[in-house]
Chains A and B, each alone.
Chain A
Amino acid sequence: KAGVTQTPRYLIKTRGQQVTLSCSPISGHRSVSWYQQTPGQGLQFLFEYFSETQRNKGNFPGRFSGRQFSNSRSEMNVSTLELGDSALYLCASSLEASGGNEQFFGPGTRLTVL
């Protein structure tokens, strides 16, 4: 089975721009979660999508948004980029047989904001 894929792997943007990151979950997985990883704050939960609906949301400003498509692929968007948004963005997918399914992580997208 192919793992979680994320595109692009690397991205450079300037302040004020917006960016869209993509995540393709493992085939059959219906839940996708997004995390931000920075040296200062570590790994922080952004949001989770299941069946095209946002189920959980972390403590991030409204500039961070996401969506999920009917094929379970997910995108996250960051508008009006700030220097502090430079981070590794990870997505993870899981089955939804019950609440305790293992998450499988992608390789991440490295976003640099100049």
Chain B
Amino acid sequence: AQRVTQPEKLLSVFKGAPVELKCNYSYSGSPELFWYVQYSRQRLQLLLRHISRESIKGFTADLNKGETSFHLKKPFAQEEDSAMYYCALSRQGSARQLTFGSGTQLTVLP
């Protein structure tokens, strides 16, 4: 069975500090990994996906198949980064059937 684990329900950092949101997964095969974000009173939206290998809003995430991790990182957190972050996976070629983690609420303090 596939599973996504986000060990931190809540995470607080100060503005300008580095931030790392952890995500571990279990999947028998080659998954696609995603980070979704939900800002206050907004819809769930895609932040980035591992196959794109791009940086969005300063965030990056590297797929580590050996450690089955896909941690989200940003070197300097901003107050507008405060949001709920979900890690998700799908089997390759099926990005419409996502398995989500439980989410991490990130708060960036001034």
Contacts and interface: CB of A to CB of B under 8 A. Distances in A.
Given A42-B100, A100-B51, 18 more contacts: A31-B96, A33-B96, A33-B97, A33-B98, A42-B103, A44-B100, A45-B97, A45-B99, A99-B92, A99-B94, A99-B95, A100-B92, A101-B95, A102-B46, A102-B49, A103-B96, A105-B45, A106-B43
B1 to A, nearest CB: 10
Interchain residue pairs A-B with the least CB separation, the first 8: A99-B93, A43-B100, A105-B44, A56-B97, A42-B102, A33-B96, A105-B43, A48-B96
B95 A94 contact: yes
Classify the secondary structure of A's interface with B: strand
Interface of A: 3-4, 31, 33, 35, 42-45, 48, 55-56, 58, 90, 92, 94, 98-107
Interface string B67-110: 00000000000000000001010001111111111110000000
A83 to B, nearest CB: 22
Contacts of A103: 46, 95-96, 98
B32 interface: yes
Nearest to B103: A42
Given A43-B86, A105-B45, A56 B101 contact: no
Contacts of B98: 33, 35, 43, 45, 103
A76 to B, nearest CB: 15
Contact of A102 (B92, B93, B94, B95): B95
* Interface hub of B32, B44, B51, B100 (most chain A Cβ within 10 A): B44
* Interface hub of B49, B88, B94, B96 (most chain A Cβ within 10 A): B96
Contacts of B32: 100
Nearest to A48: B96
A94 B101 CA distance: 21
Contacts of B102: 42
Given A43-B100, A45-B99, A100-B32, A56 B94 contact: yes
* Interface hub of A3, A31, A90, A92 (most chain B Cβ within 10 A): A92
Nearest to B94: A99
